[in-house]
Structure 1
Amino acid sequence: MSHEVTVTVRYWAAAKEASGLAEEQVSAVTLADVLADVRSRHADRPRFAQVLQLCSVLVDGDPVGARDPAAVTLTAGARIEVLPPYAGG
C-alpha cells in the first residue's frame, strides 16, 4: 500500500494567474490525487479548472504526456510543473 507524500506544485503563466499562486504543497500518492486536490482547492476559481485541462504536466522534469495520472506515483519532494500551452513561437 502506498503512502501519501508531500510534493510541490508549481504553476506557470496562465495557470499561475488562474490559481492565484506560484506554488503550493500537496499531499498525495499519485498525480491524479494531486490534480483532484488542486481542483478542489481552487473550486472558487472556475477559470483554474479550464486552464488546468489544457496544461502539460511535468513530474521532476519528466513530461507526463498521455500517461494516466492515476498510474503516475509520486516520491516525497517531487516537483510538479503545470505548464499552459504557449502562444507564439
Structure 2
Amino acid sequence: RILNQELGRAWEQWRDVLQQGRLLDKFARRILHADLFCAWQAWKQLTALWLQARGYAYRLINNALVMAFNAWVDYRTSMRRYMRIIRRFMRSNLARAFTTW
C-alpha cells in the first residue's frame, strides 16, 4: 500500500509538471507569435465585416429584384386585362358598326 501511495503521488507530480510545461509552452508561443495572433484577429474581424456588408448588398439587390418582378407582374396583369377588353370590343357588334361607318 505504501508503495502504491508513493507511486500515486509521483504520478500526480509528474502529471502536474507536464501540465505546467504545456501551459508555459503555450504561453511562450503566444508571446513569440503575438504579431501573428494580432494579424489573425484583424483578419477575422475584417472577414466578419465583409460578410456583413455582403449580406446588406444581397438584401438591397434582392429588394430591387422583388420590385422589378412585381412591376413585371403588374404590367402583365394589366396587359391581359386590356387584351380581354379589346377582344370583347372586336367581337361585339359595335366594332362592326365602326368598321362599316
Class of the TM-score when normalised by the shorter of the 2 chains: under 0.3
Largest Rg, 1 or 2:
2
Name the structure where helix makes up a greater proportion of residues: 2
Greater relative contact order (CA < 8 Å, ≥ 6 in sequence): 1
